[in-house]
Amino acid sequence: MPLQPLMMTDHSDDDTDAGVLTKTKPKTKRPPRYKVLLLNDDYTPMEFVVMVLERFFGMTHAQAFEIMLTVHKKGVAVVGVFSHEIAETKVGQVMDFARRHQHPLQCTMEKEE
Ligand code: TYC
């Protein structure tokens, strides 16, 4: 039985050159999140703010009362963190609801760090 000649395999033309990509930063990013902030004022009734937090942010009465008091005492609080689209919708709902009831309540959004 004749021996087969022993030959090296040349990999230089394979499509397996992983090294080329190892220093390339993956370009997929998580979408940015946005904090929705509620601001204090001297005129909006406390119970109206509690109602807003229950209605638009799904809080229980106790949670809503606690957050309302935080805004009242500290001037501002984050009431939720959402995608850009959902945050914009929440801000619009709160501002519209406050305007319709003639309260000066202010709600804004800012990008999370
Ligand atoms: N400061 C208001 C008052 O004393 C109550 C209030 C709380 C208003 C939170 C706005 O986002 C607010 N009636």
d(CA 83, CA 80): 10
Q: Count Cα atoms within 13 angstroms, Cβ side, for 95.
A: 12
Question: Which pLDDT score, from 0 to 100, does residue 22 have?
Answer: 74
Within 6 A (CB) of ligand 1 lie 38-42, 44-46, 49, 68, 71-72, 105
Question: Which pLDDT score, from 0 to 100, does residue 19 have?
Answer: 54
SS3 readout for 52-111: HHHHHHCCCHHHHHHHHHHHHHHCEEEEEEECHHHHHHHHHHHHHHHHHCCCCCEEEEEE
d(CA 76, CA 21): 46
87: closest CA among 38, 35, 52, 51?
35
Cβ neighbours of residue 12 closer than 8 Å, sequence gap 6 or more: none
**Contact present, 50 and 65 (Cβ < 8 Å):** yes
Query: Which protein residue has the closest C-alpha to ligand 1 atom 10?
Result: 40
Question: Which pLDDT score, from 0 to 100, does residue 101 have?
Answer: 98
pTM listed for this prediction? 0.80
Question: Which pLDDT score, from 0 to 100, does residue 21 have?
Answer: 63
Question: Which pLDDT score, from 0 to 100, does residue 23 have?
Answer: 85
Question: Which pLDDT score, from 0 to 100, does residue 64 have?
Answer: 99
Low-confidence ranges of the chain (pLDDT < 50): 1-17
Atom of ligand 1 nearest to the CA of 105: 10
